[in-house]
Amino acid sequence: MSALIRLIIADDHAVVREGLVALLEEEADLEVIGQAGNGTEAVALVRQHRPDIALLDITLFSPCTKKPSSLKPCVPVPPVTCSKGFTAR
């Protein structure tokens, strides 16, 4: 059996987090090891657990919060987003 891929999910909507966890837990090679409801919690979880993947809602990272890129080298953070109505500044 291959090693589990460890994930952290961060989104300010609990229903989104719960839905993603439900979907991802169906996959035998994935393990959700933490959830965060804001950017500060997400950064703390990533630093504490060092997941293989951090699935982040990019809107959680305001100018007042650490950017996802601040997580390097803790975890690879590819700049990927799929969000209706999101405008980069």
pLDDT confidence of residue 29: 94
Query: What percent of the chain clears pLDDT 90, i.e. is strictly above it?
Result: 40
Residue in 23, 2, 85, 16 with CA at minimum distance from that of residue 56: 16
pLDDT confidence of residue 63: 54
CA distance 30 to 16: 18
- Name the band, by pLDDT with cuts 50, 70 and 90, for residue 3: confident
Tell me: pLDDT of 65 over 90.
no
pLDDT confidence of residue 85: 57
CA dist 67 → 4, 18, 71, 77 (Å): 27, 24, 8, 10
Domains of the chain: 5-71 (3.40.50.2300)
| Residue showing tokens 């090693």 | 3
